[in-house]
Structure 1
Amino acid sequence: MSETWWKSAVVYQIYPRSFADSDGDGIGDLRGIIQHLDHLQELGVDVVWLSPIYASPHDDNGYDISDYRAIDPLFGTFEDFDELLAGLHARGIKLVMDLVVNHTSDEHPWFIESASSLDSPKRDWYWWRPPREGLEAGAHGAEPNNWGSFFSGPAWQLDPATGEYYLHLFSRKQPDLNWENPEVREAVYDMMNWWLDRGVDGFRMDVINFISKVVSLPDGEVPPGRLYGEGYPFFGQGPRIHEFLHEMHEKVFAGRADRILTVGEMPGVTIEDARLFTDPARAELDMVFQFEHVDLDHGPGGKWDDRPASVLDLKRNLAKWQEGLADTGWNSLYWNNHDQPRVVSRFGDDRPEYRAASAKALGTVLHLMRGTPYVYQGEELGMANVPFESIDDFRDIETLNHYAEAVDIQGRDAAEVMADLRRTSRDNARTPMQWSDAPAAGFTTGTPWIAPNPDYVLVNAAAETHAADSVFSYYRQLIDLRHRSAVVADGDFTLVLADHPQLFAYVRERDGKALLVLVNLTGEPARYDPADLAGWEDAALVLGNLADSVDRGLRGLVEPWEALVFERS
């Protein structure tokens, strides 16, 4: 197998808690996934990325791990896991596990031992610091520095037993591991090798660019309107990050690279950083998840501060990454994941008359670029954001913490904050997979842990899987085109009609063959001058997302949310 097999591959992310429940307890599980493997095979994906199934207290829905070598009973057993792995492999689908090693749960034995005393042999497996000089532990402002947590509040938690604070960039129940300690790194590498030896095919690495910190942990600048300092300059792409990732490659992936996929989630990463991380000659990672395009609609106040992104914003940013990694490195392509609101509501139009067309249009833009596309569960159905009615409808810790801070501490209007949550909350991605119009969307026979989107009666897999004009069928065509076209898999990328405010258009070209992708990302007809696309007059239409797209040529008009793909050789 080629070491770059993933260039023509498509990855499907499963969030196990919300995918399918086999036992009626309202929570998705491994056997539920097993029951729907044919759905994945029919879609045509090559890899499944499985969000965490490890033992966990579930403070952050499994991203707080208490045992890396145990399956949480909530999801099943190792027998279930082995059956799932075998079922995927029998269908030609690889399995990538979620690797969460910036932090553990505070219930992990490593942390329990670390917190047991000041002289514990594992004390420096985590970031412990005494109170600020001159202040008593627990006093206002006594935290070792002024960093804020991504989940609201300070990034430090006092341990009364030892009188020191530990660092947690996320929940207080997610203490950060100290990668400066070589024992920590060796323990992580040993665990990774253990999973690979069981037959898994790689890792998606959660916030892996945070593992190297500036050891002095200095105060950060406090942005206007914020309560805490910005720590990112001191842990994002920290001083030893490349050393750590290369060491990981040498100790874990060397010798396995022909079958393994490695992708690092890296908030804040730049093109220059990504070129280094994904340069094959450096032996670090295959690709990274960057966040620039999904931050475009965030205002100065962060993710909860709405600033609508234009078509120009989107295409200029995505094209910048295409061009930036053209000669070195590789792009991961995604609209959705378990941390992002649904793209059809975000950059598309989820009104009934446009939902399917805009979902297909956005899929076309993404899947035909250079890079490895990722499909998040339900994206292939055009699942949309949820009309949450009250704060009681949410389950996500980040969402609940933000609401409490914004309303109870900052005194903001509750209705205004709720509008932010409906638009941006991670729970938009975490409602149950919509399998049918049966109660609870066919996800469970019990009461689901979070209510499904009410639109499941119309938007569901049973209605779409065999419908020729469905979002599912269209995604299947996009995936098939990538599999059979070397132009899609590894052709050059050139942005065209670069200044058009409605059209996202680009050309892919390789070995004398070329594709023109022409997509209207608005709800209004888009006009252009056909002369600007000279040379494509006689090209064949190979894909279109509207019922009458077959009749379209380069006539200077693209209908609302229409996607057209032309081929010439």
Structure 2
Amino acid sequence: MEKRWWKEAVVYQIYPRSFMDSNGDGIGDIKGITSKLDYLQELGIDVVWLSPVYQSPNDDNGYDISDYRNILDEFGTMADWEEMLSEMHKRNIKLMMDLVVNHTSDEHAWFVESRKSKDNKYRDYYIWRPGKDGKEPNNWESIFSGSAWQYDDLTGEYYLHLFSKKQPDLNWENPGLRQEIYDMMKFWLDKGIDGFRMDVINFISKMEGLPSAPEEPGKKYVSGSRYFMNGPRIHEFLQEMNKEVLSKYDIITVGEMPGVTPEQGILYTGEDRNELQMVFQFEHMGIDGGPGGKWDLIPFDLVKLKRILSKWQVELYGKGWNSLYWNNHDQPRVVSRFGNDKEYRVLSAKMLATCLHMMQGTPYIYQGEEIGMTNVQFTSIEDYKDIETLNMYKEKVHENGESPKKVMESIYAKGRDNARTPVQWNNQENAGFTTGTPWLAVNPNYKEINVEAAIADPNSVFHYYKKLIQLRKENEIIVYGQYELLNEEHPHIFAYLRSYNGEQLLVVTNFSSEEQEFHCSKKLDYTNSQRFIGNYDEIEEVEDIHQFRLRPWEAIVYKLS
């Protein structure tokens, strides 16, 4: 297995709107990020993944880009961005930018031209189709609810938008468009950035003819996805992108890929494939969603989670590369989701971090995760800003007559604004995020949960993350070791082994608020065992690591040699 810097790195995601506001307008900005780089350096991360800061009308918080080569004025100027990049590099922090090229904003100059006439040069940069029998060209649904097609009076045709109607999909079949995208990527790489996180990149190749999906009774969520995920030309497009752009720079690349399997993951990330280095897969993010999709809440099932994560660990070993994450700007806070965010918030946040960071792959930390930030419960739908959440509420409550209380419960559990409440820097007004009115309200628990308090407390979640990051830098076994799941069927314990060069790590975590008995399902061969890391301060002596008691939400790792 080839050793590469991006395999050994730890990435920190910044969602700029909610990170730090420098000018009191209530919106996080680039100068705000620059002001907090010492904090990130202290945490020990290697790479920042910055969510979009490009020019945008902000229909989907920056994922609807109207100009790929300019900075959104509410975030600052290109000079601010250049200063931020320079300050990151001074601290040995690399910058990975978001690449959003499945779609643009409908205010992008290409789309403005594309709408004008059927023979406009830019018409073919997007996916336009005539209607069928007075209806949409096919029955695909948008991921943000409703039809994936929007009728345009100007030319009497429909354009495809897999997301908001203000996010028309680009037509990757057009070689001219692809070249424009590659030129834009080079523009940023030549400015000195260190890589790209690619938004829904496995959507860029659609099935020829854009066929309608068969109707599935009771299943409403994104019909048609099999026709636009992992499409027929996806590998061709990514190999071309690699040849034209990525191979010319020493950078980190990760593709966000809903609906991808480990077999496909190997095709996308294999070292001999010349595509990407790693993918974000979503399988483990769907385990608490029922047949009706993410809003259809079902109880957390640890056995299912273990199977999914272990499958990716085992099948990609030596063939591809994993990215490891619990949180991002689209996911609820993990301590509220898979942990206990009340009496065991600190312990369960540390346990979840241990469970993830001891696996093989590049770990991603989402802003606020390192201090154990939690989900929020705003009383009114009026307090929410996320387009996906608002569309879903409107459809379920106003159009389908569902109970507002029940719909709010699913928003409290799964809404994207859970991740987007401002970072809690201190216990001052608005958690120190802004001197103005924040664009999205701050979680009321900021008085207890904030960066200042976490740094002051040596036993905080922050200091634990710092330790995990340091251990990864000092121990190749964490990065390159082989993975083996233990006790697969245990409903509350997630335990696994990592093995490398004659050493082993035994990782044992308790996903419950009750004590659990661990009995190792494998005879371990070792002469020496030492405690590597654990989330309880009071250390209990263990005579035989084949069998011991775990306290609520306990995580313990032993190094065996």
TM-score in terms of structure 1 length: 0.96
The one-letter code sitting in structure 2 at the alignment partner of 1:179 is W
- Say yes or no: does 1:567 pair with 2:554: no
> Does the Cα contact within 8 Å between 1:214 and 1:235 map onto a contact in 2?
yes
Distance in 1 separating the partners of 2:220 and 2:204: 24
Q: From the superposition, tell whether residues 533 and 434 of structure 1 become closer, same or farther in structure 2 (CA, over 3 Å).
A: farther
Q: 1:204: which partner in 2? A: 197
Q: From the superposition, tell whether residues 388 and 512 of structure 1 become closer, same or farther in structure 2 (CA, over 3 Å).
A: same
Distance in 1 separating the partners of 2:388 and 2:214: 22
Of 290, 307, 310, the match for 1:299: 290
The one-letter code sitting in structure 2 at the alignment partner of 1:143 is E
Pairwise CA distance, 1:228? 7.4
Pairwise CA distance, 1:233? 1.1
1:165-205 alpha-carbon deviations (Å, 9 max, x no partner):
00000000000000000011000000001100000001000
The one-letter code sitting in structure 1 at the alignment partner of 2:301 is S
> Does the Cα contact within 8 Å between 1:541 and 1:550 map onto a contact in 2?
no
> Does the Cα contact within 8 Å between 2:19 and 2:33 map onto a contact in 1?
yes
The one-letter code sitting in structure 1 at the alignment partner of 2:556 is L
- Say yes or no: does 1:341 pair with 2:353: no
> Does the Cα contact within 8 Å between 1:130 and 1:144 map onto a contact in 2?
yes
Q: From the superposition, tell whether residues 531 and 264 of structure 1 become closer, same or farther in structure 2 (CA, over 3 Å).
A: closer
Distance in 1 separating the partners of 2:430 and 2:307: 40
Distance in 2 separating the partners of 1:262 and 1:528: 38
Pairwise CA distance, 1:446? 0.5
Q: 1:262: which partner in 2? A: 253
The one-letter code sitting in structure 2 at the alignment partner of 1:497 is N
Q: 2:70: which partner in 1? A: 70
Distance in 2 separating the partners of 1:242 and 1:534: 42
Distance in 1 separating the partners of 2:524 and 2:499: 15
Pairwise CA distance, 1:11? 0.3
Pairwise CA distance, 1:164? 0.5
**Matched ranges for 1:330-409 at <5 A:** 330-351=321-342, 353-409=343-399
| 1:294 alignment partner, SS class | helix
Give identity over the alignment, percent.
Answer: 57
- Say yes or no: does 1:172 pair with 2:165: yes
Size of the aligned set, in residue pairs, is 558
Of 306, 318, 321, the match for 1:315: 306
Q: 1:542: which partner in 2? A: 532
- Say yes or no: does 1:163 pair with 2:146: no
Distance in 2 separating the partners of 1:99 and 1:245: 13
> Does the Cα contact within 8 Å between 2:487 and 2:520 map onto a contact in 1?
no
Pairwise CA distance, 1:501? 1.6
Pairwise CA distance, 1:534? 3.8
> Does the Cα contact within 8 Å between 1:494 and 1:506 map onto a contact in 2?
yes
Pairwise CA distance, 1:537? 8.0
- Say yes or no: does 1:522 pair with 2:512: yes
Pairwise CA distance, 1:535? 3.7
Pairwise CA distance, 1:491? 0.8
Pairwise CA distance, 1:222? 2.7
The one-letter code sitting in structure 2 at the alignment partner of 1:448 is P
Q: 1:138: which partner in 2? A: none
Q: From the superposition, tell whether residues 228 and 202 of structure 1 become closer, same or farther in structure 2 (CA, over 3 Å).
A: closer
Q: From the superposition, tell whether residues 225 and 201 of structure 1 become closer, same or farther in structure 2 (CA, over 3 Å).
A: same
1:357-397 alpha-carbon deviations (Å, 9 max, x no partner):
00000000100100000000000011110012110110000
- Say yes or no: does 1:287 pair with 2:287: no
The one-letter code sitting in structure 2 at the alignment partner of 1:296 is I
Deviating more after overlay: 58-67 vs 218-227: 218-227
Distance in 2 separating the partners of 1:461 and 1:535: 42
Pairwise CA distance, 1:143? 0.7
Deviating more after overlay: 3-12 vs 108-117: 3-12
Pairwise CA distance, 1:223? 3.0
1:77-128 alpha-carbon deviations (Å, 9 max, x no partner):
1111111101111111100000000000000000000001111111111000
The one-letter code sitting in structure 2 at the alignment partner of 1:109 is A
The one-letter code sitting in structure 2 at the alignment partner of 1:505 is A
Distance in 1 separating the partners of 2:106 and 2:504: 53
1:255-301 alpha-carbon deviations (Å, 9 max, x no partner):
31xx3000000000001100000001010000000000001111000
Q: From the superposition, tell whether residues 418 and 536 of structure 1 become closer, same or farther in structure 2 (CA, over 3 Å).
A: farther
Distance in 1 separating the partners of 2:5 and 2:222: 43
Distance in 1 separating the partners of 2:55 and 2:210: 30
Pairwise CA distance, 1:467? 1.6
Distance in 2 separating the partners of 1:400 and 1:459: 27
> Does the Cα contact within 8 Å between 1:466 and 1:473 map onto a contact in 2?
no
Q: 2:429: which partner in 1? A: 439
Q: From the superposition, tell whether residues 388 and 48 of structure 1 become closer, same or farther in structure 2 (CA, over 3 Å).
A: same
Q: From the superposition, tell whether residues 13 and 146 of structure 1 become closer, same or farther in structure 2 (CA, over 3 Å).
A: same
| 2:307 alignment partner, SS class | helix
Q: 1:243: which partner in 2? A: 236
Pairwise CA distance, 1:489? 1.0
Of 267, 272, 289, the match for 2:263: 272
- Say yes or no: does 1:107 pair with 2:107: yes
Gaps of 5+ in 1: 136-141
Q: From the superposition, tell whether residues 311 and 537 of structure 1 become closer, same or farther in structure 2 (CA, over 3 Å).
A: farther
The one-letter code sitting in structure 2 at the alignment partner of 1:260 is I
> Does the Cα contact within 8 Å between 1:519 and 1:561 map onto a contact in 2?
yes
Over the aligned positions, Cα root-mean-square deviation in angstroms equals 1.3
- Say yes or no: does 1:461 pair with 2:451: yes
| 2:98 alignment partner, SS class | strand
Pairwise CA distance, 1:254? 1.6
Distance in 1 separating the partners of 2:330 and 2:448: 24
> Does the Cα contact within 8 Å between 2:517 and 2:550 map onto a contact in 1?
yes
Pairwise CA distance, 1:522? 0.9
Q: 2:87: which partner in 1? A: 87
Distance in 2 separating the partners of 1:326 and 1:438: 47
TM-score in terms of structure 2 length: 0.98
Pairwise CA distance, 1:227? 5.3
Q: From the superposition, tell whether residues 359 and 45 of structure 1 become closer, same or farther in structure 2 (CA, over 3 Å).
A: same
Distance in 2 separating the partners of 1:540 and 1:131: 68
| 1:349 alignment partner, SS class | coil
| 1:501 alignment partner, SS class | coil
Of 142, 145, 168, the match for 1:152: 145
Pairwise CA distance, 1:215? 2.7
Pairwise CA distance, 1:18? 0.1
> Does the Cα contact within 8 Å between 1:147 and 1:228 map onto a contact in 2?
no
1:322-369 alpha-carbon deviations (Å, 9 max, x no partner):
001012000000000000000001111111x20010000000010010
Distance in 1 separating the partners of 2:521 and 2:225: 47
Q: From the superposition, tell whether residues 229 and 323 of structure 1 become closer, same or farther in structure 2 (CA, over 3 Å).
A: closer
Pairwise CA distance, 1:533? 5.2
Pairwise CA distance, 1:221? 2.3
1:478-506 alpha-carbon deviations (Å, 9 max, x no partner):
10111110100111111112222211111
Q: 2:210: which partner in 1? A: 217
Pairwise CA distance, 1:155? 0.2
Deviating more after overlay: 395-404 vs 528-537: 528-537
> Does the Cα contact within 8 Å between 1:146 and 1:229 map onto a contact in 2?
no
| 1:360 alignment partner, SS class | helix
- Say yes or no: does 1:556 pair with 2:556: no
> Does the Cα contact within 8 Å between 1:222 and 1:229 map onto a contact in 2?
no
Distance in 1 separating the partners of 2:115 and 2:390: 27
Q: 1:116: which partner in 2? A: 116
- Say yes or no: does 1:492 pair with 2:482: yes
> Does the Cα contact within 8 Å between 1:275 and 1:329 map onto a contact in 2?
yes
**Matched ranges for 1:499-518 at <5 A:** 499-518=489-508
Distance in 2 separating the partners of 1:10 and 1:486: 14
Q: From the superposition, tell whether residues 131 and 457 of structure 1 become closer, same or farther in structure 2 (CA, over 3 Å).
A: same
Distance in 2 separating the partners of 1:536 and 1:458: 43
Q: From the superposition, tell whether residues 96 and 229 of structure 1 become closer, same or farther in structure 2 (CA, over 3 Å).
A: closer
